[in-house]
A = this chain, B = another copy of it.
């Protein structure tokens, strides 16, 4: 037996309509009426039941966050990136409007259909999705008729319900590589994990452009492993081929390269130049500290969330494509 509008109405001596109006901020009522309702509600410990409200308004006040994780189940553990995004999403949701966050992690491609079902069942109001997904899933998302904001997704196609927030990955690749060139390094490698993905391709393109301008040769190292492990293994290949600098497409790869190089007594920042991408905290915790491309992850998450909120509040329309600037943060590794 929970406390409902009926009890509050009785206690406050008003109609349930008025109670409803006060709590939803709709309709008209005097200040005294509002106070009476609020006092009664407080006295009885009344909280509107969101499920009941959801049933009639067809709004759940729930935002779904979709995280990809094809490698293993430990998405958050292995990717500081996602943590920052979650923090930023949460900080906006908490401050700007009353929406709760519900997480849908996608560990295997086979689960995509299931995720789609979960979204329907919860009647989620809007979706935030990070990364790349296959076309069928995107088509499915788009067909749900709710706004979707994609972070770091480069898919093309006609998705009327999508908006996009990306970073200027190509410029990042260019800046990182150019920095190494300016520092005097000659044999500059690109190191990354699954470079075939569209996002990594952008960073790769930036690398190419900088090398081309300088007339340098490409050395590309790609591996399908956890970023840190891949980096460790790259360090063997890099020394074997007498490469003297590496631009890594993500910081965790750079941390792996750093670890491997230090183990070989290579003097990082002098005999070997290292630049990462992401500018996550671990880059400042390792020693020597990592030079990196800052992609303002927190702001990216904030921007995406605010975009979604604006669409939900009908203050803007769908279809925007934002590209956030990047910058180089020079530290000790190059």
Contact = CB atoms under 8 A, between A and B. Distances in A.
A52 B49 contact: no
A103 B83 contact: no
Describe A's contact surface by its main secondary structure: helix
A118 B91 contact: no
Interface residues of A, number: 49
Contacts of A91: 73
A121 B49 contact: yes
A107 B94 CA distance: 10
Contact of A103 (B60, B75, B90, B123): B90
A105 interface: yes
Contacts of A84: 74, 76-77
A322 interface: no
A86 B258 CA distance: 29
Interface stretch (A13-21, A198-206, A280-288): A280-288
25 contacts: A47-B121, A48-B121, A49-B123, A50-B51, A50-B121, A51-B54, A55-B55, A75-B87, A76-B86, A77-B80, A77-B87, A80-B80, A90-B103, A94-B105, A94-B107, A100-B122, A101-B102, A228-B285, A255-B285, A258-B287, A259-B285, A282-B285, A285-B286, A286-B286, A286-B287
